[in-house]
C-alpha cells in the first residue's frame, strides 16, 4: 500500500511495473482514482509537496456533480 499524494489515503496500489525491471512503478488510489508514476517530480509524488489547489478531500467525493445527470431510477 502507498499513500496517495492527492487525497492522502493509504490504499494506493501498484497497477503497473516498467518493462525494464526496476525503472518505475505506477500507482493508483482507489479512493480519488489519482494515478502517478514513482519517478515523477516530487510535486506529484509527495503528499506534502502536491499542489494544494489540486488536493482532494475524500469527504467531498460523494458530493461531486454527476455529468451527465443520472436517470431517476438510479438515484437512491
Partner 1 sequence: MAYKDFRDFLATLEKEGQLLTINDEVKPEPDIAAATKAMSKLGAETPAMLFDNIYGYTDAKVAMNVMGSWPNHALMMSLPKNTPLKDQFFEFARRYDQFPMPVQREETAPFHEVEITENINLFDILPLFRLNQGDGGFYIDKACVISRDLDDPEHFGKQNVGIYRMQVKGKDRLGIQPVPQHDIAIHLRQAEERGENLPVVIALGNEPAITTAAATPLLYDQSEYEMAGAIQGEPYRIVKAKDSDLDIPWGAEVVLEGELLAGVREFEGPFGEFTGHYSGGRSMPVIKINRVYHRQNPIFEHLYIGMPWTETDYMIGINTSVPLYHQLKEAFPNEIEAVNAMYTHGLVAIISTKRRYGGFAKAVGMRALTTPHGLGYCKLVIVVDEDVDPFNLPQVMWALSTKMHPKHDAVIIPDLSVLTLDPGSSPSGITHKMVLDATTPVAPETRGHYSQPLDSPVNVEKWEQRLRELLR
* Site for partner 1, rule CB under 8 A: 6, 15-16, 18-20, 23-24, 26, 28, 32-37, 39-41, 43-44, 51, 53-54, 56, 60-61, 64-71, 73-74
- Show Cβ contacts of residue 50 under 8 Å, excluding neighbours closer than 6 positions: 5, 6, 43, 44
Rounded to a whole number of angstroms, the minimum distance from the CB of residue 53 to partner 1 is: 8
**How far is Cα 12 from Cα 6, in angstroms, rounded to an integer?**
11
Rounded to a whole number of angstroms, the minimum distance from the CB of residue 22 to partner 1 is: 9
Sign of the Cα pseudo-torsion (40, 27, 1, 59, in order): positive
**How far is Cα 29 from Cα 17, in angstroms, rounded to an integer?**
16
Rounded to a whole number of angstroms, the minimum distance from the CB of residue 73 to partner 1 is: 8
- Which C-beta is closer to partner 1: that of 8 or that of 36? 36
Amino acid at each position: 500500500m502507498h499513500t496517495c499524494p492527492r487525497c492522502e489515503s493509504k490504499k494506493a496500489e501498484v497497477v503497473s511495473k516498467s518493462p525494464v525491471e526496476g525503472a518505475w512503478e505506477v500507482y493508483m488510489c482507489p479512493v480519488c482514482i489519482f494515478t502517478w508514476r514513482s519517478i515523477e517530480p516530487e510535486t506529484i509524488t509527495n503528499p506534502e509537496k502536491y499542489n494544494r489547489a489540486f488536493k482532494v478531500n475524500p469527504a467531498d467525493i460523494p458530493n461531486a456533480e454527476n455529468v451527465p445527470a443520472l436517470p431517476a431510477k438510479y438515484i437512491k
